Amino acid sequence: AQKVTQAQTEISVVEKEDVTLDCVYETRDTTYYLFWYKQPPSGELVFLIRRNSFDEQNEISGRYSWNFQKSTSSFNFTITASQVVDSAVYFCALSRPKSGGYNKLIFGAGTRLAVHP
């Protein structure tokens, strides 16, 4: 069975602090994809990143960085120098590509991040 666990329900930080959101996943597949989505109060899920299981290279995009470690089944997300606009619910998700190239996303419960000025 596939499962995504985001143990941190809520995180509160002060602006400019660094913050790491944890994600642990379970799957028996050797090939899979991991994702992070941001959900602001408006409700729309915003795609942040997709990572293939065979690519463990960490990625940095501006203030965002992702640390993928297959040995611990983790895909953590760090925001450097957080800003108030980063306040949102963040979801980690897993998908298993089926033949034909289609998939469904399995989401964690989400981590609510509040960044205070």
**Which residues of this protein are in contact with another protein, per CB under 8 A?**
4, 33, 37, 42-47, 50, 91, 93, 95, 97-98, 100-110
The least CB distance from residue 107 to another protein, in Å, is: 3
Angle at 81 between CA 80 and CA 82, to 5 degrees: 95
**Pairing mode, strands 10-14 and 111-116:** parallel
Q: Given the complex with another protein, which of 42 and 61 has the nearer CB atom?
A: 42
Q: Given the complex with another protein, which of 67 and 97 has the nearer CB atom?
A: 97
Q: Given the complex with another protein, which of 33 and 67 has the nearer CB atom?
A: 33
Q: How is residue 10 written in tokens?
A: 């809520």
The residue ranges of DSSP E strands in the chain, in sequence order, are: 3-5, 10-14, 19-21, 24-26, 33-39, 46-52, 59-61, 64-69, 74-79, 88-95, 105-107, 111-116
The least CB distance from residue 15 to another protein, in Å, is: 25
Q: d(Cα 42, Cα 45) in Å, to the nearest integer?
A: 9
The least CB distance from residue 44 to another protein, in Å, is: 4
Q: Given the complex with another protein, which of 33 and 64 has the nearer CB atom?
A: 33
Which residues partner with 116 through β-bridges? Answer: 14
The least CB distance from residue 26 to another protein, in Å, is: 15
